[in-house]
Amino acid sequence: MSYEMPSGMDAWWAAQPYEMWARARAERPVIRYEGNPIDPRPSFHVARHDDAVAVLRDWETFSSSINSEVIGTYMGELILGMNGPEHRQYRNLVAHTFRASVLERWDAELVRPVIDALIAGIAPRGRADLVADVTARYPVQVICGIVGVPLEDHEQFAAWADEINTGPLNPERGMAASQAMRAYLEPLVEERRSRPTGDLLSELVHAEIDGERLSDERLYGFLRLLLPAGAETTFRVMGNALFALLTHPDALAAVTADRELLAAVIEETLRWETSVTMVSRVATVDTEVAGCPIPAGSPVNVLTGSANHDASRFDDPEAWRIDRPPAQHLAFGTGPHQCLGMHLARLELRAGLDAILNGLPGLRLDPDAPVPVVAGFAFRGPTSLPVVFDPRP
């Protein structure tokens, strides 16, 4: 069997990859790809669900170190790039804040007030762009609040996070932002050392396991990761959920009447259109996946977006259906690096969608605006969601 890119699939980096991925799952479950402009090594793309799970659970053969190779220069020491016991220890130190039981407090004190203020700002207008006016502003403010960054500084914090994240494209700006963010956080960190307030910064500077504390490099590395990992991802999935509801009016009516259905809306959207469609690893030894030989040192891209549409797991996988029986999707990955923020993401999505349904009655797509689309390859979401609703004072 050949594992080279089949003809017709060479538009690999497309804005609408699901059709190509369906062909990949049927014809070439692992595709060898050369031509990544940033990394000249041939890489291997894993398209099927069960192969994706096997790779993500085998951290000894498929290392996460690749996640630090480029972006680590700008972000510092990264949890996403660690392996084995070192990763486990770091994760245990930072995990407390993200447990479901701790999140209840953030729900009442932070998440609901942030989303309610955003909805109150647009409710009298009768029309809005739900991306520019709501989703692009909401998770970023929640993360700033959880970290302990004053809300009035959230735009500056988000601007640094973006410059750090795009550091590989503009190294000078990326390094300057990385240093500026640390200089901004240092006095806040010092304050929390002597006077903890219950926010994430306080947790992180006092966290201790077996006498071990987070080094400064790891502390700032974690803080630099939080906005790209937690805000960019959640805001796009929220856009995808709203897109799904607005283009399925029967489901929108059902959920408006019965909010218990929100859990199904959220899980089905995570399966159908996750915002992060692939997760990277590097082979540590010569190995194989689905019979495809993979030499040591090769990047391996696990196509979680493709795995979530695998017909061996999900009937009628291209359809968005909220009556689907629950099954394990890979939107949050699996194995030792499974998303640390998944409970927070679900909570934000639930509170956000609930507030929109409560605050914007009669919500529908703006008939005078172009129909929105969900687009992107590695990160997917709608760029705008023009809507109209019944204005309220």
Q: What's the CA gap between 369 and 348, in Å, rounded?
A: 28
User: Do 119 and 354 contact (CB within 8 A), yes or no?
Assistant: no
Q: Residue 237 or residue 245: which is nearer to ligand HEM going by CB?
A: 237
DSSP category for residue 5: P
Q: Which residue has the tokens 């499974």?
A: 338
Smallest separation, CB 230 to ligand HEM (Å): 3
Smallest separation, CB 6 to ligand HEM (Å): 27
Q: Residue 198 or residue 293: which is nearer to ligand HEM going by CB?
A: 198
Q: Residue 230 or residue 372: which is nearer to ligand HEM going by CB?
A: 230
Q: Residue 123 or residue 303: which is nearer to ligand HEM going by CB?
A: 303
User: Do 68 and 78 contact (CB within 8 A), yes or no?
Assistant: yes
Torsions phi, psi of 198, nearest 5?
95, 0
Q: Residue 25 or residue 380: which is nearer to ligand HEM going by CB?
A: 380
Q: Residue 123 or residue 298: which is nearer to ligand HEM going by CB?
A: 298
The bridge status of strand 299-302 relative to strand 43-46 is parallel
Q: What's the CA gap between 265 and 258, in Å, rounded?
A: 12
User: Do 127 and 386 contact (CB within 8 A), yes or no?
Assistant: yes
Smallest separation, CB 225 to ligand HEM (Å): 6
Q: What dihedral angle (degrees, nearest 10) is formed by the CA atoms of 326, 327, 330, 334?
A: 110
Q: What's the CA gap between 250 and 104, in Å, rounded?
A: 31
Using Cβ positions, the residue closest to ligand HEM within the complex turns out to be 341
Smallest separation, CB 95 to ligand HEM (Å): 9
DSSP category for residue 81: G
Q: What's the CA gap between 310 and 258, in Å, rounded?
A: 30
Cβ atoms within 10 A of the Cβ of 4, count? 12
User: Do 359 and 123 contact (CB within 8 A), yes or no?
Assistant: yes
Q: Residue 143 or residue 357: which is nearer to ligand HEM going by CB?
A: 143
Smallest separation, CB 170 to ligand HEM (Å): 24
Cβ atoms within 10 A of the Cβ of 59, count? 18
Smallest separation, CB 169 to ligand HEM (Å): 21
Smallest separation, CB 91 to ligand HEM (Å): 5
**Which CA distances in Å does 1 have to 28, 31, 156?**
8, 11, 52
Q: Applying CB under 6 A, which residues contact ligand HEM?
A: 64, 67, 79-80, 91, 143, 225-226, 229-230, 233-234, 237, 274-276, 279, 304, 331-333, 337, 339-341, 344-345
Q: What's the CA gap between 110 and 116, in Å, rounded?
A: 10
Q: Residue 329 or residue 366: which is nearer to ligand HEM going by CB?
A: 329
Smallest separation, CB 158 to ligand HEM (Å): 13
